[in-house]
Copies of this chain bind each other. A is one copy, B any other.
Amino acid sequence: MPNNEREYDVIVIGGGPAGENAAAYAIAGSDRTAVIVERELVGGECSYWACIPSKALLRPGHVLAGARAMDGITATGLDVEAVLRRRDSFVDNHDDGSQVKWAADNRIDIVRGTGRLTGERQVEVDGQVLRARHAVVLATGTRASIPEVPGLRAALPWISRDATNLHEIPRRVVIIGGGVVACEAATWLATLGAEVSMVVRGARVLASAEPFASERVVAALTERGVRVLFGTEPRSVDRPDAKNTGEGRIHGGPVTVRLHSDQGDTEIEADEIIVAAGRTPATEGLGLAAVGLPDGYVQVDDHLTVREVAGEWLYCVGDLNHRAALTHMGKYQARVCGDVIAARAEGKPLTDARFTASADHGQVPQVVYTAPEVASVGLTEAAARDAGHAVETAELDIAVAGSALARNDFAGHAKLVIDTATDTLLGATFVGPEAGEQLHAATIAVVGKVPLATLWHAVPAFPAVSEFWLRLLETRRA
């Protein structure tokens, strides 16, 4: 083999959580070899620029609010510097040494650079040729989109990476968007002292969630002083002295955003602008054309295999396959994908359920770490009806002994979406403090297709917050 060529059983392009798990699962318990090609940090968007820093920024505010809502405690904060230091420690100060060590411990090589498909089972990285005996896995994820608004790109707006890695708190911030990133960023920015305006195109935030989630999150944001502008779009952006001062630093002087809504046009001045308006597949330089694939998201079957390419050697996991753009679902796909690669390498049939990604069809859990948190799994009522299910719902405010004991100001709401044909849950949404930790019960009920008649015998402990499950089930007797 030429000097600049190396052969592995498995090549993974993109070393985020999905790529890492695919590599690890594909070779676990075997003598197969794997390499991860990564052009930034091993650990990926989630570890350094998304889930981890955002939750590190949000959690202190949640804890402080909980302490303030409890008698007998005097709590002050937040000390912004301490919160930012904690965030820095969670992102390992952008040093991926611990992830590299994890890879080494799992016999996975790391190659730094941009991996480019150049043919069947072949990847090039800066002139080095990697050949795969079994599989190439694409796991490059997505990057922030910047919409085509005059002056916006020139204003050097913050994207989610700046917001999660902020080093100074802009006094006034405009956030373009109303999705998860926008709502979470608004929450921590307001908690850390910024004056926040959100520019939301539609009539609610978190548009794919149950409508009450939007209502409760918006009410809470508003109470913190966040101004939420619905039905509003940016028309132009003006920032005369934009300069790239580095990630998470304020990118120049004040920015003026001209807005349009049915109520008329207006403008906002702020010290920073954040674009949280969706994601686009990160396929630059990936060489999809070399294997006959169009640019854009990469379609896979339930074995995470790219069917458009012959030979069952190309896979795609994580955000890039556009099935469920969440770290935990990417990792889930990666576990399935790694198991599939291993089975095919060993000539085993894919009959077991673990070789099929079933949960990213309508059984996807998600937690939005706003205050209150929004936790959901499966289908909303609207999505279930759209999908043709005969649906009943159970719904109520979470107000049980456990919630009152948990904190004086507990306010929450819960909804179950029930398939009347099978008497099982299609989905659930819980909004409230720490609602994220209530979700797994619903996820198990949805995925396990546990009939409601059986859930009746799954008794919540008293006095836990989870007693709201009993109240939900009780609404269905009448």
Contacts and interface: CB of A to CB of B under 8 A. Distances in A.
Q: Which of A326, A364, A447 has the most CB of B within 10 A?
A: A447
Nearest to A454: B448
Given A71-B60, A79-B72, A460 B443 contact: yes
A331 B462 contact: yes
Interface stretch (A132-140, A205-213, A315-323, A433-441): A433-441
A404 B51 CA distance: 13
A458 B437 contact: no
A405 interface: yes
B461 A454 contact: no
Interface in A381-412: 401-402, 404-407
A466 B17 CA distance: 17
Interface in A432-478: 434, 436-441, 443-448, 450, 453-467, 469, 477-478
A164 interface: no
A316 to B, nearest CB: 18
Given A375-B461, A453-B353, A459-B329, A405 B55 contact: yes
Nearest to A451: B448
A279 interface: no
A236 interface: no
A437 B439 contact: no
Contacts of A332: 457, 459
Interface string A226-249: 000000000000000000000000
- The 3 A-B residue pairs whose C-beta atoms are closest, nearest first, are A448-B450, A328-B462, A67-B67
